[in-house]
């Protein structure tokens, strides 16, 4: 792997900082936007859940490759995981700006969870929301962690890369796996 020069690294550092701030804000702002009448993206949650699962598998494959000291293969798996994460983000936004909000426990699809529906889901809702909120918060935190970890590897700052990866890897893996679990919880309520 050829290392990036310092000039490119400085530019990429600025881009990473910008993305780390702008991405979460843009995604949050897009939740206020609803494009009515577009139904083509309604099946995307199942698709981007598979992408989350594939991302988790790529991360595990990258871990295995680096433990075997196969840096080239490790780098390939990480790049694939990065691309999958970007594809996930695009699909996630497309779905949420074109589809009505799905409420956990809304069995009749009226957009509200009434007292009977709440009684039916019981403590499962607590588990779901703890998982969902941790998934969302960590998906915000993982952006700079992963991108800086990648940048440090690409600039040959391997010790720094390793220090960042100690946090980035488990959080990225958690976000990918918890995304799949969140889908399993919410999928019965898609209408």
CATH topology for 6-189 is 1.20.120
Closest CA to 48 of 96, 87, 97: 87
Buried b (16+ CB within 10 A) or exposed e, 74-106: bbebbebbbebbeebbebbbbbbebbeebebbb
CA neighbor of 74 nearest in space, from 153, 141, 151: 153
* pLDDT one digit per residue (tens) for the chain, 191 residues: 788 888 888 999 999 999 999 999 999 898 888 898 888 999 999 999 999 999 999 999 999 999 999 999 999 999 999 999 999 999 999 999 999 889 999 999 999 999 999 999 999 999 999 999 999 999 999 999 999 999 999 999 999 999 999 999 999 999 999 999 999 999 999 87
Domain extent listing, the chain: 6-189
Give, in degrees to the nearest 5, the angle at Cα 171 between 154 and 155: 10
pTM (2 d.p.): 0.92
Question: How far, in Å, are 40, 93, 160 from residue 166 at the CA level?
Answer: 39, 29, 10
């Amino acid at each position: 792997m050829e290392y990036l020069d310092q000039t490119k690294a400085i530019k990429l550092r600025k881009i990473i900082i910008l993305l780390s701030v702008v991405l979460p804000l843009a995604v949050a702002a897009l939740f206020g936007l609803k494009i009515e009448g577009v139904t083509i993206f309604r099946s995307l949650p199942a698709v981007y859940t598979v992408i989350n699962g594939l991302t988790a598998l790529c991360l595990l494959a990258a871990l295995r490759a680096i433990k075997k000291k196969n840096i080239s293969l490790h780098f390939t798996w990480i790049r694939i995981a990065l691309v999958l994460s970007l594809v996930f983000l695009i699909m996630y936004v497309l779905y949420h700006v074109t589809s009505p909000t799905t409420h956990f426990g809304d069995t009749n699809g009226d957009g509200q969870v009434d007292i009977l529906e709440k009684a039916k889901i019981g403590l499962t809702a607590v588990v779901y929301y703890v998982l969902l909120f941790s998934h969302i918060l960590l998906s915000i935190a993982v952006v700079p962690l992963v991108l800086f970890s990648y940048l440090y590897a690409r600039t040959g700052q391997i010790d720094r890369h390793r220090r960042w990866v100690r946090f980035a890897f488990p959080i990225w893996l958690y976000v990918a796996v918890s995304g799949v679990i969140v889908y399993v919880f919410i999928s019965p309520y898609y209408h």
